[in-house]
Amino acid sequence: GAGVSQSPRYKVAKRGQDVALRCDPISGHVSLFWYQQALGQGPEFLTYFQNEAQLDKSGLPSDRFFAERPEGSVSTLKIQRTQQEDSAVYLCASSPTGIYGYTFGSGTRLTVV
């Protein structure tokens, strides 16, 4: 597609529920990134894929967070046993390679109640 597509746009989860957030990157983009943006803050790095390989997951806040990109295209960010502090916008970005040309999606706004 023309841009990075994320679904769902909005997700309300009850505390303790598992959620899965999807990212469709720009076709052909090798690099894929997930960021978390809390209200009134800048995005914070979560994880980085190059093709299907997860090269950096240092930003994942706990072992409840898991990301995958099994075929080097679509990626899923999964959060298990959601907590209120997980409420944020989750942004996905892709790039042909490296840092220049990062294109962000519009994000998934997760609200945990």
Partner 1 sequence: QKEVEQDPGPLSVPEGAIVSLNCTYSNSAFQYFMWYRQYSRKGPELLMYTYSSGNKEDGRFTAQVDKSSKYISLFIRDSQPSDSATYLCAMSGTDSSYKLIFGSGTRLLVRP
Q: Binders of partner 1 among 50-79, rule CB under 8 A? A: 56, 59
Q: Which is nearer to partner 1, 37 or 76 (CB)?
A: 37
**Beta carbon of residue 5, minimum distance to partner 1 (angstroms, whole number):** 11
Task: Out of 82, 107, 110, 112, name the contact with partner 1 by CB under 8 A.
Answer: 107
Cβ atoms of residues 23 and 32 within 8 Å: yes
Structure tokens at 46: 């979560």
Q: How far apart are CA 91 and CA 100, in angstroms?
A: 17
Let me know how long the chain is.
Answer: 113
> Going along 8-43, which residue ranges are E strands?
10-13, 19-24, 31-37
Q: Is 1 in the site for partner 1 (CB under 8 A)?
A: no
Q: How far apart are CA 22 and CA 29, in angstroms?
A: 16
Q: How many whole angstroms from its chain centre is CA 19?
A: 12
Q: Which is nearer to partner 1, 64 or 109 (CB)?
A: 109
Task: Out of 2, 14, 27, 42, name the contact with partner 1 by CB under 8 A.
Answer: 42
**Beta carbon of residue 10, minimum distance to partner 1 (angstroms, whole number):** 10
Give contact residues for partner 1 (rule: CB under 8 A).
4, 31, 33, 35, 40-45, 48, 56, 59, 91, 93, 98-107, 109
